[in-house]
A and B are shown apart, each in its own frame.
Chain A
């Protein structure tokens, strides 16, 4: 095990290399630039390729090409670049091409503020492209160390489920310096829970199964199997078709290979959740670190408050909200995104509150005041905003 005082970008780079990533195509954007820079240094050292696309859309398409040729590939960006992935992300979903995409959230909308954290792409990672008829996987770490683990996991899942997987971080995780341990031996990797899956190429001729089966190797060019894949609705052999029945089978595959295999990747962190707390504080990513502190303080005061941190954001873990309780959702945006899903999933008669802030973190003091107000049914305000009850 080697220890470093380094950034999340460094941790993600090392995780990707451990997972077998040998192709990275990026495009400079704050706060993901250092990830591209780290890749440009590290990949050639391990016999891998770093390229720079003419834009983010091209960058992910180049990754698709590399993956189509059998290489494990990754790209990274922030919100304004992620939106340009819409086209290749859809292609990779439809053609079932393994890829890993890292999004380091900053303040939006549009270019917003480059050097401050935001969580404005919660829904965008669920619907990264047009057309529907698919499920997506999004993993959200809350530290540099966990970012490394989630990137390794993203590569593992992308191979087994044959699809792109998004790692959703934020500016504080990717740019912040932390104590990072990089495993060096297989037993260390096992100890850290790292899982790996090799790339295998499809033998043909049926490239597009219609079931939820795991571990179907992806289509690959260059092996003379007569592999074909396209952006059109495919027949099982990969031919383009206008038949609605074929589309139905394809959509079933894209949706249920994820839904029916959720047991593989349900990650969340629970704190003080064993005694059915009156108030459950829900968050993901960096704000969860402040939430944890605030919940500890609340417990010291004897308040029955628990913390639920989501790591797997999509598919959304509805079952975690089946108990009737008060929920407070803390997010790095003012409009409320995660809160909408919690409200939808929460059992009847639960009350769902929202505390949003963007470009900044809430303080533990503010959070503790909010917990008390909610538990005493008092109205909530913050920075002049009347906080809504959903």
Chain B
């Protein structure tokens, strides 16, 4: 990669928060760098982006890392805050949310669906460590079937949003999301390209980015804290869309790109308000 991490860091991130307090070998930093690189390749400045975060590993580790304005919501609520904020922000400002799988696909799914429904302009990056890892390693709603976690000691058997033919991407598609992609951390520049498209979409975009957790997920499921093991395991279970194998868990690539095909929410609302104010009717 032509981008050196330190240059990106100096340009966009706060030295107080980087390096983060994430565990040794955590894949979150890779996702984080992929996002910042995409922002940089689009030529965005610090002031152009308002960065929101949630709780859990993916949320708290990225909170206030961005040099510009940033906010964090409680469990699952950052989407609703961002939708309200979208109404009040100047139109040219970008909202990027870095959140976790439990936050987005568990407690916050309702709010997420309504952001997709309204096509509110924001880019949601769901960094998925395959369960609730900051609380010690319980299963979540994208934990692979059969995975042993602290709360599924016999193997994960409950249907979730990535099992039995269910895919959370289909739910978001049905709700009206205009850009959807899935990448594992190891996708590198392919993920950067998807995030650039997501940010350029004037509407609701989401990128699902599973990343390796050597500490809680891998130690329980693979019986190893060696980071190489979990990176290899995730890579072997991921494949580009259309090249899936029998044991593929994560098919990676763009799931939907109908960018700029639906009215953006805040533009729609403000346009309607202006018309009502002037003429008394729509």
Contact = CB atoms under 8 A, between A and B. Distances in A.
A230 B80 CA distance: 15
Interface string A217-250: 0010111111111111000001110000000000
Interface stretch (B33-41, B128-136, B270-278): B270-278
Contacts of B71: 68, 95, 219, 221, 228-230
A87 interface: yes
B273 A230 contact: no
Interface string A6-48: 0000000000000000010100000000000000000111111
B73 A228 contact: no
A228 B85 contact: no
Most central of B50, B53, B84, B274 by chain A CB within 10 Å: B84
A65 interface: yes
B273 A48 contact: yes
B55 A61 contact: no
A121 to B, nearest CB: 22
- Majority-rule SS of A interface residues: mixed
Contacts, number: 141
A240 B60 contact: yes
B72 interface: yes
Interface residues of A, number: 48
Interface stretch (B88-96, B159-167, B221-229): B88-96
A62 B269 contact: no
B88 A69 contact: yes
A68 B110 CA distance: 22
Most central of A58, A70, A219 by chain B CB within 10 Å: A58
Interface string B155-197: 0000000000000000000000000000000000000000000
Given A58-B114, A222-B69, A240-B64, A65 B273 contact: no
B81 A64 contact: yes
Most central of A67, A90, A226 by chain B CB within 10 Å: A226
B269 A49 contact: yes
B57 to A, nearest CB: 14
B67 interface: yes
Interface string B252-264: 0000000000000
A370 B276 CA distance: 55
Given A45-B277, A55-B110, A222-B90, A65 B69 contact: no
Nearest to B45: A224
Contacts of B69: 221-228
Given A63-B84, A221-B89, A239-B64, A49 B110 contact: no
Interface string B200-222: 00000000000000000000000
A229 B86 contact: no
B82 A65 contact: yes
B47 A66 contact: no
Given A224-B47, A240-B64, A66 B72 contact: no
B157 to A, nearest CB: 30
Contacts of A53: 80
Contacts of A54: 80, 110-111, 113-114
B50 A222 contact: yes
Contact of A230 (B46, B64, B113, B114): B64
A239 B277 CA distance: 41
A207 B38 CA distance: 30
Most central of B55, B73, B270 by chain A CB within 10 Å: B73
A51 B111 contact: no
A285 interface: no
B50 A87 contact: no
A232 B82 contact: no
Interface in A66-97: 66-71, 73, 87-88, 90-91, 95
B87 interface: yes
Given A65-B82, A71-B88, 17 more contacts: A44-B272, A48-B273, A51-B269, A57-B80, A61-B80, A61-B111, A66-B84, A70-B88, A87-B75, A88-B77, A222-B88, A223-B69, A228-B69, A228-B70, A231-B72, A232-B60, A239-B17
8 contacts: A23-B84, A44-B273, A54-B111, A58-B77, A68-B71, A90-B74, A91-B74, A221-B69
